[in-house]
Amino acid sequence: MTDSTPTITIDLPPLQDHGPRRARALMIQGTASDVGKSMLVAGLCRAYTRRGLVVRPFKAQNMSNNAAVTIDTDAPPGPDGEPPRGEIGRAQALQARACGVAPSIHMNPVLLKPQTNIGSQVVLRGRALGNCPARVYHEMRQGLMPAVLDSFERLCAEADLVLVEGAGSGAEVYLRRSDITNMHFAERAGVPVVVLGDLDKGGTMASLVGTWLLLDQADRERVVGYIVNKFRGDFSLFEPACETITAHTSWPFLGMVRWFEDAGRLPAEDSLALARPAETTGGTLNVVILRLSRVANFDDMDPLAAEPAVNLRWIEPGQPIPAETDVVILPGSKATRADLEVLRREGWDIDILAHVRRGGRVVGLCAGFQMLGRVVRDPLGIEGEPGETPGLGLLDIETEIGGDKRLIEIDGQEQRSGCRITGYEMHMGRTSGPGLDRPWLLLDDGRGETRPEGAMTADGRVMGGYLHGIFGADAFRAHWLEQAGAQAARIDFEARIEAALDALADHCEACLDLDALLKLAR
């Protein structure tokens, strides 16, 4: 579907009466994007869960190409007896993990995955509806509100507390009529709101008072207080600002959350985080990742960033790939052909081919795997204009975009090391060609059989596959690093995330009065 398409079909399943609401709910809205809403909600989820409450996260609409695979509990099992999968924003999957539960399609009923500057793939309750221009989506999204409210009520029926995350700024009043995720949702769902400001950005006082000025009286009264986030320094110097904010808004000051030093140990929500990407120095292995225009699931790189032996660097447009690079990683992308054009425009294709001639290594993940082949075809125009784009030709494969989206969690083993690997697939392309006769991975199909996945060159220096999350497998990561000439630190990556979530919960407990916050939920 292209930008000229007038609409997409909304086919909602029958909505249910979930009875009286069990849970109390509290909503965290921000004064802007990237003020720390997702991380604060994750910390509160873990903190209240540790107190013995049944907690669930919820975000009505998320815009991110970082997604997670979930089980679609609404759909009947498939022919193999397995329930079908859906997808939600990775931030809500992390928040579910903080609650100690599996992620659900109802935690993020609407996910927008940007494919162009003016359009996104629309995912409703885990299922892709199609691609939609922003203006068309703006007009149609009120039709999604029944599903959003239904998903929210489902969570309220199973929990003691639902922590709701807003999107962007709650003060974008020009969007109020079609809003499904900020103040209009809060009104329809009857949820009190806490406004979160970001001191690290500056302008906190103006953004909080400005939010109050823009809201109508009913929405102002829906706000039960505000929190100042990402604070560093002597709070006594900022205290007069809080007095001024409260004097202008009448909103009570609910606390100040200091800068959380371990934030980089947790997956980032979306590509805004790449404006300040995690880069590491002091190691022996130089790994670069190309900053594609529609980069997706870039948290695939987090386990490598945790390794002291790895110098990890994102290469931005306008920068060449350094000659001293040992490994080039082509990450996932929501627009493979468009990002192949970006790659050529930047001259990265020339750099990569020279890197390979020098004996360097290349890894392609999902769309990056497709780019390593001879050609990527999109005859139906699923990701943009119909057509085909030449790939890098490093693997003897070709890809056609089309068919149902493959969403599945998988484990198996990596061929060269024999190490167990886990991860997930999330793609629409189908890849074929002689290069697949030398697969990178052997995956378990869940029925006791294995299937080959991906491809690699005979010397193992160029490899790629559809599996996201592969570097999270500790034994494989250690083997891969040693093959590349670096010493692995033997990190337990999953334990590292759990420790960071516990530290975040401790941080919230130390900075905020959680008993008082809980009393504000209703």
Q: Which residues are catalytic?
A: 366, 468
Q: What is the CA radius of gyration of the chain?
A: 23
> What is the C-alpha to C-alpha distance for residues 356 and 350, in angstroms, rounded to an integer?
10
Contacts of 51 (CB under 8 A, 6+ apart): 514
If one counts every other C-beta atom within 10 angstroms of the C-beta of residue 317, the result is 12
> What is the C-alpha to C-alpha distance for residues 170 and 211, in angstroms, rounded to an integer?
8
Which residues sit opposite 411 in a β-bridge? Answer: 422
333: left (phi over 0), alpha (psi -120 to 50) or beta: beta
Separate counts of helices (H) and strands (E) for the chain: 15, 26
If one counts every other C-beta atom within 10 angstroms of the C-beta of residue 454, the result is 27
Contacts of 11 (CB under 8 A, 6+ apart): none
> What is the C-alpha to C-alpha distance for residues 262 and 71, in angstroms, rounded to an integer?
30
Going 105 to 107 to 110 to 116, the CA torsion angle's sign is negative
3-class DSSP string for 465-492: ECCECHHHCHHHHHHHHHHCCCCCCCCC
Residue 123 backbone dihedrals phi, psi, to 5 degrees: -115, 120
